[in-house]
A and B are shown apart, each in its own frame.
Chain A
Amino acid sequence: MAQLGWHVNIDNCVGCRGCEGACKQEYSLPTGVRRRRVLTEIGETAGVPWRRHISLACNHCERPACLHACPVGRYWKDEATQPDIAELRAHFGVDAAAPYTGLVGIRPTVAENAAIGVDCTGCKRCMAACPYGAPQWDETNGVMDKCTGCLHRIHPAADTTLPAARQKPACVVSCSSYALSFGDMADVNTWAQRRAGDPVTVLTEAPAGALEFANPALTNPSIRFTRPR
């Protein structure tokens, strides 16, 4: 079963924030909700400055902390063992025959779908549980929000106007410098964009003062990196 996820080439990213903007407009997100965030990290090594940009959204973890923390089961993972998976896929317009993606989505509200809907209580346990800052508090709508992996773009309806080459997350479509790509984590080495020979790794160590990515063993995030040279 496929688990879709990201490759972030920190060496390539120029911080154009096209990915961040693409996601904002894809979902008409209000101010304060940043499903995707480009972090600009700056520092100094032996008096010489450095700067890097890292684009992060939700890592659609193998063991999503948000999903397990939510007391009302609002998050769902696009996999065979997900309760209500057929109804969830139908609600979001994903063809039943389309392969599973492993993406972690958000259930509709009760008003949107009485059968499988769940209303966020605003307890924010998901925000506390996630090691990566993916869940965002949406003050306008009074709910937690996060990247849902653009399932509607990856597996669109048959009559979609999206060209085949654009049937990928909105963020990836916009990337200006071969920094963000998306695919099946099982063969990430085939599609991760990088200079030949550059490694594709989980991110643990970082320059002093930089983001220290959480131990990937906690949730097994579906993301790999190519670090700055």
Chain B
Amino acid sequence: MNDKPSSPIRFSRRTLLKWSCVTAGGAAVASLLPSALFPISRAQAAQFTGYRTGAWTPSCCNMCGGQCGIQVYVEDGIARKIEPQGGGAGLVSNPNNIANTSDGYVAALSAGDTGRLCCKGNSGLRSLYDPDRLQTPMRRVGPRGSDLFEPITWEQAIEEAARRLSSVRSRYGARSLVWFGEDHSFTHIQSDFCKAYGSPNYSNHSNLCDTARKAIWQSTLGHGRPLPDMEHADTMLVFGWNFLSAIKFIHLPAIFTRARMNNPNFHFIYVDPVYNTTASKADQWVAPRPGSDGALALALCQRIIASGVVSTADMAAYATGYDEFVKYLNADAAGVYDYSTVPWAGQDIGTWASTITGIALPEIEAIAARLVADKTAGRKICIDAWSGPGQHSNATQSGRAIGALAILLGIVDMPGGLCFPLRSGTSHRSSAGLGWPSADGWRVDGRDNVTIPATYTYPDGTSSANPYDGALNKKYAYSHGSGIYVEQRQRMIEQTDFVGNPYPIKAAVFVFQNFMMSTPNTEKNTRALENMEFVLCVDTHMSETAQMADIVIPGSIYLERNDFNSNWGLFRSIGLRQPVVPSWIGGMSETDFFLHLGQALGFGGFRTDATTMSAEAFNADEWTRFVTGGGWGNTMTWSDIRAQGTWVETFTNPDGSANPTGTPSNGATTTPKGGTHYRKYKARKTFAAGDTVSAIAVGTQTVYVVESSVGVALGIGTGPTMAVGDSYEVGFGTDSRRLQFWDPRFAGYFAGTTQRGDRGGNQSVAGDVRYHPLPYNVLPEDAPATPGSGDFPLYFISWKEVEHTHTRTFNNPYLMEMRGENRLFIHPTVATPAGIFENDSVFVQTEYGTIKVRAHVTTGIQRETVGFARGFGHWALGSLAKGKGAHDGWLLPGKAELHSGQAIHKEVACRIYKEV
């Protein structure tokens, strides 16, 4: 039966005997797993269900990155049930499970809402008690990738990892270590480790996910992570975000459904090549060719401007480049640049957009008409876009056109619109006094502007010349702190930095990242790892990446560890993750492991002894500093939050009285501070001594920006000069402190005054329309040359469904029972001529590789597109995962988006043919 522990096939025969001596406490493998759980008899199940003798512990889920609140019932040391956090028993309802606005949160709780949890959250115990989990550290004993390992003790693993990391550093320098870490969880300790080691090359996973979305909204609205206020919206227009199935925050189905149920005006337009669950709840589903969302958005912008509903006063006060954008849409030659050669010159832009997107013009007109009518009637419009447009080569420019739509409709940080969150989290400890070195060298991946010396000196005194030295600009104009995995990988293959200087990379660490499958183009991932001297992988299972490692460390399941999760909402709240049971593998959490490893390497501030710096103490320290230093006017002690699970910001006492002096009050409340904070751009500041006013000229418009003495943009300047004491609005988080049709940062690149660091040094990108300061239409690079014909006539895309996350849920029996395979969606107009029927095996081929997958024939996909749910196709991980479904990474070019470094998962041209 599937539920029995499988024998560990990964051991080579000669070490099997040794295995029985080296497990924790000398016990045999099977008894490490609470045998009461596998398999469970009907009687045992019946006995448990009393909820009588155990207790509930609040924590946060980590089956995906949503971090929803949970409470876990533990009886006799075994975790028995996971439920949504809330419903009484002294626990605060984690807002993540309820709403993203404070009045929505308060109203829902008043109506008796006790939260919710998706299938993944409900399946967590099967991940916790998965017998295929790594139960002991492992050391590679065969060639890399041969999957021959022997078990070793934790002490041996720490000693060897420390020795080998130290050896790599002593020969190649600390910069030769690259790091790939999961975010949301135990990030602080990981980035601390890299700093203490001396490597600048710490990266984490966001750039596989949504850094292009961040670039889109950062460029246009000045905030990389806006949130849709669905609950108060009348009309929603969403591009490429299957939020009802990909979900992430479980409040999303709730706020959407509350709006849909309670608002008679509610209308939802959904743009996505795939008819997914979110499309099924839409009033209008629009299926563009993948990567053509920007063209659709430009046409909508033109129609909205032509209708006269745009407030030109608001544009003048709060937007940069509106007049110029209008000229662009009108193919006007007399702008800052000549737009008379834009692709739609001489034709209606709507007709052009129809040609590019494959959407019939009446559908485009219907959307435009709806938006115009809504704006005229004063209805609240909410627009959003995520990784649909975001995981394409043209993501930033395409997405900026969607951003322009939001600006025109005036919905930014308004009720029912696209709003900026208030989010604060626990802060990193200070490194003062810990003796960490300066970073060795410079970041290898082009995320940052760097200064490169003429030579690099290795620890042994030898040196290598850097042909491209001096001040080198970053390669990615809107890079995100998480770095660029695709670029870091390419550096590992080429052993150079992003401009081409020799830069040995010899050690790689993967923490809770299945790099082999998650970074697009699996063959390149293999080549990158083959260049490494030392690979350390921390994961819960023997993943495809762990198989390629030298030392594998068993990771914790979230139910066994400490973290904090700062919730994304329009009011601040923080959820605590804490162990509900101790680790049954007898292991340590990631935080503990890195504290030990750092201690073995002699890092200051890493585990001096068990009592002063355990993982729990590390987190308790962060919490105490947050509460005492954050000025939130609340205190919630470490023991309070452990009991209640979630902190909600408030300046209102629980009895409803105001707390204006910030007298500490416990954060265990359901009355968030001051309601939902909209229109934050209207907050005012006062011009101070040392502040200056800078001017940005965009054609006939000049915008003034208040800047600090060190050039940080502070707010909207009232004129070319201002006096100390003058009041001004803070505006938006963009370079011009206004919403931006025109991006001054791109303007510098496009004009050639800002250069881009790339192979060979700083390069001019003057005239490259991918850097145009307006949201210039750019087509996806790796789309079919002629959709519907040629060698590779079809678009290949992939997406996420509710049952699975990344590549990690595929050994969970509950989730694999729900969705155990991915199917390739194919439109009947493609399938029928090819003789492909439902369930047939088909090959998908690109110029990079070929896979085989079973077909799902459906009208629910754009007719020149095929695609499937990603994450399947494992060849490792565990007994349930192996061999199920197909993996997309074999098909993909493996590129990063130009501006954000976002890994491009959804763009390659393919052909399909039936297996005969």
Chain A positions within 8 Å of B, measured between CB atoms, are 12, 14-18, 20-22, 24-32, 34, 38, 42, 44, 47-53, 93, 108-109, 111-112, 138-141, 143, 145, 152-153, 156-157, 159-166, 170, 173-179, 193-196
29 of the cross-chain contacts (CB-CB < 8 Å) are A12-B260, A14-B253, A14-B257, A17-B119, A18-B116, A18-B117, A18-B119, A21-B118, A21-B119, A21-B122, A21-B818, A25-B125, A32-B817, A42-B860, A49-B279, A49-B858, A50-B280, A152-B49, A159-B52, A164-B88, A166-B88, A173-B87, A175-B116, A176-B116, A176-B247, A176-B250, A177-B244, A193-B261, A194-B261
Interface centre among B41, B117, B245, by most chain A C-beta atoms within 10 angstroms, is B117
Q: Which are the 3 A-B pairs with shortest beta-carbon distances? A: A21-B122, A163-B88, A17-B119
- Which residues does chain B contribute within 8 Å of A22, judged by CB atoms? 83, 117, 122
Cβ-based interface call for B910 (8 A): no
A218 to chain B, nearest CB (A): 29
Contact with A along B1-26 (1 / 0, CB 8 A): 11100000000000000000000000
- Which residues does chain B contribute within 8 Å of A38, judged by CB atoms? 818
- Separation of A160 and B89 alpha carbons in the complex (Å): 11
Could you list 18 further interchain pairs (A-B, Cβ under 8 angstroms) beyond the known A18-B122, A29-B45, A31-B2?
A: A12-B260, A12-B261, A17-B119, A17-B818, A18-B118, A21-B815, A25-B123, A25-B814, A26-B81, A28-B48, A31-B1, A49-B279, A49-B860, A157-B52, A163-B88, A173-B83, A174-B83, A176-B116
In-complex Cβ contact of A20 among B50, B87, B119, B247 (8 A): B119
- Separation of A52 and B276 alpha carbons in the complex (Å): 10
In-complex Cβ contact of B50 among A27, A157, A165 (8 A): A157
- Separation of A42 and B813 alpha carbons in the complex (Å): 25
B497 to chain A, nearest CB (A): 45
In-complex Cβ contact of A140 among B3, B114, B281 (8 A): B3
Q: Please determine whether B87 and A163 come into contact, CB atoms closer than 8 angstroms.
A: yes
- Separation of A165 and B121 alpha carbons in the complex (Å): 20
Within 8 A of A (CB), among B104-152: 112, 114, 116-123, 125-126
In-complex Cβ contact of A27 among B3, B45, B112 (8 A): B45
- Separation of A42 and B244 alpha carbons in the complex (Å): 16
- Which residues does chain B contribute within 8 Å of A48, judged by CB atoms? 859
Cβ-based interface call for B776 (8 A): no
Q: Please determine whether B39 and A21 come into contact, CB atoms closer than 8 angstroms.
A: no
Within 8 A of A (CB), among B229-263: 244-245, 247, 250, 253-254, 256-258, 260-262
- Which residues does chain A contribute within 8 Å of B258, judged by CB atoms? 178
B366 to chain A, nearest CB (A): 14
Number of A-B contacts (CB under 8 A): 193
Which residue of the partner chain A has the closest CB to B83?
A173
Q: Please determine whether B119 and A161 come into contact, CB atoms closer than 8 angstroms.
A: no
Cβ-based interface call for B43 (8 A): yes
Q: Please determine whether B116 and A26 come into contact, CB atoms closer than 8 angstroms.
A: no
Which residue of the partner chain B has the closest CB to A15?
B277
In-complex Cβ contact of A51 among B250, B253, B257, B275 (8 A): B275
Q: Please determine whether B87 and A165 come into contact, CB atoms closer than 8 angstroms.
A: yes
Cβ-based interface call for B498 (8 A): no
Interface centre among B51, B82, B87, B260, by most chain A C-beta atoms within 10 angstroms, is B51
- Which residues does chain A contribute within 8 Å of B123, judged by CB atoms? 21, 24-25
- Which residues does chain B contribute within 8 Å of A14, judged by CB atoms? 244-245, 253, 257, 277, 281
Interface centre among B39, B48, B114, B277, by most chain A C-beta atoms within 10 angstroms, is B277
CB contact under 8 A between A165 and B817, given known A17-B803, A152-B49, A177-B256: no
- Which residues does chain A contribute within 8 Å of B44, judged by CB atoms? 28
Chain B's interface size range is: 35 or more
- Which residues does chain A contribute within 8 Å of B118, judged by CB atoms? 16-18, 21, 174, 176
Q: Please determine whether A165 and B88 come into contact, CB atoms closer than 8 angstroms.
A: yes
- Which residues does chain B contribute within 8 Å of A52, judged by CB atoms? 280
Q: Please determine whether A53 and B277 come into contact, CB atoms closer than 8 angstroms.
A: yes
- Which residues does chain B contribute within 8 Å of A140, judged by CB atoms? 1, 3, 39
Which residue of the partner chain A has the closest CB to B122?
A21
- Which residues does chain B contribute within 8 Å of A20, judged by CB atoms? 119, 122, 818
- Which residues does chain B contribute within 8 Å of A50, judged by CB atoms? 280
- Separation of A25 and B72 alpha carbons in the complex (Å): 12
Cβ-based interface call for B73 (8 A): yes
- Which residues does chain B contribute within 8 Å of A141, judged by CB atoms? 41-42
- Separation of A109 and B787 alpha carbons in the complex (Å): 63
- Separation of A51 and B279 alpha carbons in the complex (Å): 9
- Which residues does chain A contribute within 8 Å of B84, judged by CB atoms? 173-174
- Separation of A189 and B221 alpha carbons in the complex (Å): 45
- Which residues does chain A contribute within 8 Å of B52, judged by CB atoms? 156-157, 159-161
- Separation of A145 and B123 alpha carbons in the complex (Å): 20
- Separation of A30 and B51 alpha carbons in the complex (Å): 21
Cβ-based interface call for B55 (8 A): yes
Which residue of the partner chain B has the closest CB to A173?
B83
- Separation of A16 and B48 alpha carbons in the complex (Å): 26
- Which residues does chain A contribute within 8 Å of B257, judged by CB atoms? 12, 14, 177-179
- Which residues does chain A contribute within 8 Å of B360, judged by CB atoms? none
- Separation of A170 and B254 alpha carbons in the complex (Å): 18
Q: Please determine whether B280 and A51 come into contact, CB atoms closer than 8 angstroms.
A: yes
- Which residues does chain B contribute within 8 Å of A139, judged by CB atoms? 1
- Separation of A152 and B51 alpha carbons in the complex (Å): 9
Cβ-based interface call for B27 (8 A): no
Cβ-based interface call for B425 (8 A): no
Which residue of the partner chain B has the closest CB to A194?
B261
CB contact under 8 A between A93 and B1, given known A16-B802, A28-B45: no
Q: Please determine whether B277 and A160 come into contact, CB atoms closer than 8 angstroms.
A: no
Within 8 A of A (CB), among B745-775: none
Cβ-based interface call for B664 (8 A): no
Cβ-based interface call for B40 (8 A): yes
- Separation of A12 and B50 alpha carbons in the complex (Å): 31
Cβ-based interface call for B780 (8 A): no
Interface centre among B3, B253, B279, by most chain A C-beta atoms within 10 angstroms, is B253
Cβ-based interface call for B37 (8 A): yes
B85 to chain A, nearest CB (A): 11
Q: Please determine whether A143 and B120 come into contact, CB atoms closer than 8 angstroms.
A: no
Q: Please determine whether B87 and A166 come into contact, CB atoms closer than 8 angstroms.
A: yes
- Which residues does chain B contribute within 8 Å of A27, judged by CB atoms? 45, 49
- Separation of A138 and B3 alpha carbons in the complex (Å): 13
- Separation of A133 and B294 alpha carbons in the complex (Å): 47
Within 8 A of A (CB), among B871-916: none
Cβ-based interface call for B467 (8 A): no
Cβ-based interface call for B534 (8 A): no
In-complex Cβ contact of A24 among B39, B122, B247 (8 A): B122
- Separation of A156 and B120 alpha carbons in the complex (Å): 27
- Which residues does chain B contribute within 8 Å of A161, judged by CB atoms? 51-52, 54-56, 73, 89
- Which residues does chain B contribute within 8 Å of A21, judged by CB atoms? 117-123, 814-815, 818
- Separation of A26 and B123 alpha carbons in the complex (Å): 10
Q: Please determine whether B119 and A162 come into contact, CB atoms closer than 8 angstroms.
A: no
Within 8 A of A (CB), among B263-292: 275-277, 279-281, 285
- Separation of A16 and B42 alpha carbons in the complex (Å): 27
B258 to chain A, nearest CB (A): 7
Which residue of the partner chain A has the closest CB to B861?
A49
- Separation of A161 and B83 alpha carbons in the complex (Å): 13
Q: Please determine whether B88 and A49 come into contact, CB atoms closer than 8 angstroms.
A: no
Q: Please determine whether A109 and B42 come into contact, CB atoms closer than 8 angstroms.
A: yes
- Separation of A160 and B83 alpha carbons in the complex (Å): 15
- Which residues does chain B contribute within 8 Å of A145, judged by CB atoms? 42
In-complex Cβ contact of A42 among B46, B48, B858 (8 A): B858
- Separation of A49 and B863 alpha carbons in the complex (Å): 13
- Separation of A76 and B817 alpha carbons in the complex (Å): 29
